[in-house]
Amino acid sequence: MIGLSIGLIATSGIISMLVHSINNNASILKDIHLNQELRTIMSGVVKDIRRAGYWKEANGTDINPYSTIYISKDNSCILYSYDTEPHENKVPGNEDNYGIRLIDQAIRVREKSSDCESKKYWRSISDNNSIKIKTLEFKSNNICNNLSSSNRDCNTAQVGDILSIKHIIDVSLSGYIPSNKKNILTLKEKIVIRNSESKLFMES
């Protein structure tokens, strides 16, 4: 009887360790899945935003019609454009307008030139069943130069001055696995836009 009791205790201990090990492994696999999913999304976001302002017909003289970048007041939406098809009137078409935003815990990309206020024409690129996006935030830290005068900066620009704006976008993305809401992973990236925005200063 004593031997049987000892055997049962030992078996119980082994089973307990096995269950703990299985739970541990499951938790590790979930963490790996979360990391991979978020990093894949962030990589796509960074690569696309980096293309903002690309213009096939850029000549260094004409103001680039694709260079404007807009970030919503709540910082969860960014709109931008880049040249995919030549246009005679040098005006970006619907197919050149892009955007990324957070809607209903999913990352969505812009379609049909939708704006940041509307939920229409925003296609999800993340799977809500697999991962929930908690936050998506864009912040701009731009560098501005006055190309028209070495004696005036952007703050003292005069009407007619041409300003060159180098866009630097900080992106923060966080999410979690639906089965483990407490384990939140946050990723951050700094995007330096290759194509500067040139604009004519107009009196406000």
pLDDT digits (tens, 9 = 90+) for 47-82: 999 999 988 887 767 778 888 899 999 999 999 999
Q: Which residues are CB-contacts of 111 (< 8 A; sequence separation ≥ 6)?
A: 121, 122, 123
The mean pLDDT of the chain is 84
Is residue 89 in a domain?
A: yes
For the chain, the domain total comes to: 1
Is residue 1 in a domain?
A: no
Is residue 2 in a domain?
A: no
pLDDT of residue 9: 55
Place of tokens 């001055």: 161
C-alpha separations of 176 from 27, 34, 49, 171, 202 in Å:
12, 7, 24, 17, 45
Is residue 16 in a domain?
A: yes
Rounded average pLDDT over 80-97:
77
Is residue 3 in a domain?
A: no
Are the CB atoms for 174 and 186 separated by under 8 Å?
yes
Is residue 37 in a domain?
A: yes
Place of tokens 């078409």: 93
pLDDT of residue 20: 54
Range of the domain at 87: 8-200
